[in-house]
Structure 1
């Protein structure tokens, strides 16, 4: 039976409690894992790690030395748990993550619909500006707004042609450049291995607010909404039945372990370049320009150029991944939010050639260009921060419910006790962190500090 044929509910091998796959499909021999069984995980990881994540990790290193290395490792575990849960739900049910949320009630559609529109408008400008920063440092004679606009249009064009294989190859090249630039820069600093190992022992700095800094480092590096897009990239890859489960887990774990190595290298730079010299970097993406200047002063202009190229690769890979994956998520939302939740499966998820996907691509690219010329509206930024603080708790908590559903998830793919424990811990951390970020986001509305 083709995955695109309707499921015969009266077929003798079909489990009537499972919507989406026949029992034969559920029990099909798993595809063998090969060393190069990578694809969607690389796209998700490259999308999730952007310039803001690099700044957060560099700042942690400059502020606390290697003391929070353990939080980076914990963050990698959180991401593996969340993305594995997203992928497992898709492969075991034939439903996308949005279609799963629909089974939890109409409130999920209202929240997600408002969030994805506001997030996309603000993130579009942020992503284009982030790509422009290193290019402006490399070519100061060109206005940064030109780089920002051109990068957005290139991203739109690459995604518009709807060639997932091309996107995956480009992302692989970009993440390779990221790794090379950051690992070379970290190696230059001759890090202390003993201190790095000591940093793997959990500890909380004594200063006020340090706990939330730790949670932010563990929870904030490696993506937000893009974690939920993983199932859509599985679908684009053609990994769309339970037989791909082992390959998906290998793909996810390998990609995020590599991400962990990358983030650790970034923290090493923060410690050895900034902490040891008592230097601070600017807030936001501009902090990476400061790091480039430090590298130029200490090791020569060539290494600053290498780092800035890595900065560009990190920023553009995030832009490209969001333009692709989140557009698919929006198209799924727009096409299906009015349909009965129990009638949907992956065949109802539209492609990038659909009108909703192309509308969202334009929404991400063209409209946010106005924010490149104007001060961003404060209310929009506050709303963006508020909804953003709620998304990761939303994802973690809903996955805990989705992967325990008896009527949708086959028994062999439901959460085991360790899945529930890890997802529960992840959900708890993100609820606490989300609450803290929510208070920070709304405080200005009541005259408080941000």
Structure 2
């Protein structure tokens, strides 16, 4: 499976699909569901084109990261370090602060639908149980089992959310009109956020580690990776469009506003129950839980691989994510246990500022470094960026730069 020049036809290539599903599922969490639903509730189908472009941008970023891994046999972190030692320090600080905040966020988001389904157990208890469950699963399992479970969760959330979109009976002419690049008044920064936010941030760069865990090494695997990545983000695109339909048909038409937080999804559950009955509301909560849990498991596993690569390169050891290594398990514990403190207290102000600032800068950093690395002599000529890839990365750099400025201004305001 690790042959540099695999003889794989199109039919056989489909059997290898997996890492793309993992990265796409990890990137779409409760926050993305809320953002997409609110876009539909406020602007109907007008911002459908923004959700589609967001998927295209994420295809380019995750494909570029994985292509560097596969074509060079190295890792994206090694590529960053070749641009200067500061990149390693930037990533190290970012991933530590990000993990502390995100750990609490992921546990809380996963707990919300479970607490709604089983209210006898308190929300904080569910959050802790989700964190511990993710910790135990990732600790004791390897990539093959992890990928299988992620595929099952993706299938569950996809069927339920697309089923909901069909149930609310979308208007096909209005849906088609949403591809007309409309920009309703007051929607500019919301549109940019929808393009930049749906489908993951730092987790897009983890795709390369999952392709390596799958055994894809050498330029011959690049076509398989591209198919895998495209299929995954097409699934994500359909999922996002389904949520926009639900927001437009169910909320916009009735003038219902959701809370701009993960708890807003519980509000949608109430709306669904009032219109379609308890069974549909329960199905939505199951889909909500599958979406949140897939993000939690993906981050617990993928970012632990990412961190272990950073740690061992910092110490001058072999490149690559080390599944089950001491560094891998230390970061897994960091994601799980210290963030539980945030479940019992408000987030410290300075930590939120640091998290927001580092987060705002990461996506433009990723886009720019992919432009540099994938056009460099380190990458075999046949695997370098083409004109279209470069154009998308330049556009993504400009988009994320605007979003970064917007977020930094908001944090300082």
Q: TM-score, normalised by structure 1?
A: 0.89
Residue equivalent to 1:276: 253
Residue equivalent to 1:142: 121
What is the alpha-carbon distance in structure 2 between the residues aligned to residue 201 and residue 193 of structure 1?
A: 14
Structure 2 unaligned spans of 5+:
none
Q: Which residue of the other structure, out of 341, 363, 381, is the alignment partner of 2:352?
A: 381
| Range with bigger deviation, 262-271 or 211-220 | 211-220
Residue equivalent to 1:13: none
Q: Which residue of the other structure, out of 265, 272, 276, is the alignment partner of 1:295?
A: 272
Q: How does 1:208-357 map to 2 (within 5 A)?
A: 210-339=187-316, 348-357=319-328
Residue equivalent to 1:440: 410
Q: Which residue of the other structure, out of 395, 403, 419, is the alignment partner of 2:374?
A: 403
Alpha-carbon distance, 1:322 to partner: 0.1
Matched, 1:57 2:36: yes
Q: Which residue of the other structure, out of 78, 96, 109, is the alignment partner of 2:88?
A: 109
Alpha-carbon distance, 1:130 to partner: 0.5
C-alpha contact (below 8 Å) 2:209/2:321 kept by paired residues = no
User: What are the superposed Cα offsets for residues 124-172 of structure 1, whole Å, 9 maximum, x if unpaired?
Assistant: 0000000100001111111111111111111111111241111101100
What is the alpha-carbon distance in structure 2 between the residues aligned to residue 260 and residue 61 of structure 1?
A: 15
The alignment yields a C-alpha RMSD, in angstroms, of 1.4
Residue equivalent to 1:363: 334
- The structure with the larger Rg is 1
Alpha-carbon distance, 1:433 to partner: 1.2
Q: TM-score, normalised by structure 2?
A: 0.97
Label 1:360 to 1:195 Cα distance change in 2 as closer, same or farther (>3 A): same
Alpha-carbon distance, 1:37 to partner: 3.0
Secondary structure (helix, strand or coil) at the match of 1:185 reads helix
What is the alpha-carbon distance in structure 2 between the residues aligned to residue 348 and residue 425 of structure 1?
A: 31
How many residues in Structure 1 have an aligned counterpart in Structure 2?
411
Residue equivalent to 2:8: 31
Structure 1 unaligned spans of 5+:
4-24
Secondary structure (helix, strand or coil) at the match of 1:348 reads coil
C-alpha contact (below 8 Å) 1:30/1:246 kept by paired residues = no
Label 1:138 to 1:427 Cα distance change in 2 as closer, same or farther (>3 A): same
Matched, 1:431 2:408: no
Alpha-carbon distance, 1:437 to partner: 1.3
What is the alpha-carbon distance in structure 1 between the residues aligned to residue 130 and residue 10 of structure 2?
A: 36
C-alpha contact (below 8 Å) 1:138/1:308 kept by paired residues = yes
C-alpha contact (below 8 Å) 1:328/1:357 kept by paired residues = yes
Alpha-carbon distance, 1:32 to partner: 2.7
| Range with bigger deviation, 48-57 or 138-147 | 138-147
